[in-house]
Amino acid sequence: MKEVKTKRKISFNELWNNIDFSKPSAWGVIGSNLAVIFFAIVDKLTATEVMWIYWIQSVIIGVFNFFRIMMLKNFTTKGMTANGKEVLPTKATKISTAIFFLFHYGFFHLVYAAFLFSFPTILGEEKKFEGGFYLLFTGIVFLLNYGIEFYKEQTTLTDEIPNLGTVMFLPYFRVIPMHLAIILGGFIAAAGSFFNTDTSFLIILVLMGIKTIIDLMTHSINVYTGLPMTQNP
């Protein structure tokens, strides 16, 4: 399988400056993440349970993105290379990119799942998992909402020409909060163990804080071009 790379780089400052806090959707993102923190407090969800909820949402996004790539018709491969060579916007390129994304993105989440299974021990949480209802409920709601948005996206006529590398790359922003939460979670848990303090809620705040920033950034750009919603490619 060929390794596919894209030279299209999107800076943190560019993404942050694209956020329009005057739009209701931006505050909807903030509100939904604050709601998770609220229910984590009320129902005493652990950091592991919240991270599993985020993990399943991230997997759902990855599956839809695989089909998003496969359903591309006219697209550009500007900035993309395979084995050091420029690639052409062919059907074979599209299929190989989709398969590469599926396995690469999927492998990331298999690794994170392994970490999450060990997280209760690392954080000193009780082994009994009581967040199954929230995992199932939020997973179904997220699947339905994302499915509706995906359907609208696919049935809306547009003159935009998608960039294959951008379409493949954007879901990886979902990996950042999970990656940092796992790394920082270990350090926070170690500090909590030293001071004999429960750090589960602090880890939830770290995860949801990073997640909120990433969500705001990704909601402000076009999933096909990587450009702000107000710009054309």
Mean pLDDT, the chain, whole residue set: 79
> Own/partner pairs for 141-149, CB < 8 Å, 24+ apart?
142/56, 142/57, 142/60, 143/60, 146/60, 146/61, 146/64, 147/64
46-76 tens-digit pLDDT: 888 888 888 888 899 999 999 999 999 888 8
User: Span 12-23, mean pLDDT?
Assistant: 74
pTM above 0.95, yes or no: no
